[in-house]
Amino acid sequence: MGVVNEELRLETGPGGVRVSAGAVELAEYVVEPDTPRPDSPKPYLHPLRTTAGDVVTAVRPHDHPWHNGLQFTAANLSGENFWGGRTYVRGQGYTELDNNGSIRHLRWQRTHCASGLAELRHSLVWETRAGECWLTEDRSIELSDVDLCDGSWLLTWKTSLCNTSDRLLEWGSPATEGRPTAGYGGLFWRGPRSFVGGTAFSSTGVPGDSAMGGRAPWLAYTGQHDISLRHSTLVFVDCPANVRHPTPWYVRTEPFPVVSFATTFHEPLPLEPGGRIDLTHHAIVADGSWEPERIEKYIATRIAARWG
């Protein structure tokens, strides 16, 4: 692999932060989005770009306008919807309810850029539609290992959720409410429309949509761009310290490209009052089509040491 740690630049604006390497803006983190209440407003990363400048995320697609780039959220938290759109209700299907909560940026704890590492850390609150604070969150997003020779960079998303309500909360999904395979939730990626029909495979060798619900330490998605006609690969890597590791995956290549670390795919995750959930996820953003051997080498040399 090539020389890593290309120097990064960080630019803060009224609604978010941009991180660039050379002439390429790798990521924009939107912390105060102008999102309609029915779409459950929340911070998100978009656009994400490869080192070649190709965009690998989508924002407000017409089929699911609450799918915004890379975001962390929950479709069902004890009946509240922090995902957006309708809520899946057992025995009724997707139903319009007045339960769309929001995940709101409170304050920056750290925005720092040095030695090839950019760190964006902030505090957030999860508020129900009625305005009750159910969760507080400490979130850190790191961009590092920018390697122009290898055509790759690494994103690390760390979150710590604390139940500040006086009740037991259950983080679930439409699947835990009875809709088969709809186990989406947690850290969720929506790819560009040109990635429809792309190539996905898990570390266990299961291809495409067949990986839905299966557990694996990582899952890769390769798509082709319009205009440049280049390919890009995103590799989503679960940290061994995470609850329910290796994570189940929610993945679709058609009719739209999505991947989710689906912690609550098969069963809800309870959180007692005052309890915490800590999660760390990685995403390799790469130019070209990456094969399993190259992915395994990257994880062994660039990511595994971070797990201690």
**Per CATH, which fold does 8-307 belong to?**
Beta-galactosidase; Chain A, domain 5 (2.70.98)
Burial of 228 (0-12, 13-18, 19+ CB in 10 A): middle
Model pLDDT, residue 4:
67
Beta-bridge mates of residue 2: none
User: Do 200 and 258 meet the contact criterion of CB atoms below 8 Å apart?
Assistant: no
CA distances to 264, 267, 300 from 213, rounded to whole Å, are 10, 11, 25
Task: Provide the percentage of residues in the chain whose pLDDT is more than 70.
Answer: 99
Give 252-305 pLDDT, tens digit per residue: 999 999 999 999 999 999 999 999 999 999 999 999 999 999 999 999 999 999
- For the whole model, what pTM was predicted? 0.97
Give 102-128 pLDDT, tens digit per residue: 999 999 999 999 999 999 999 999 999
Q: At residue 2, does pLDDT exceed 50?
A: no
Model pLDDT, residue 1:
45
Q: Give dist(CA 69, CA 252) in Å, integer.
A: 15
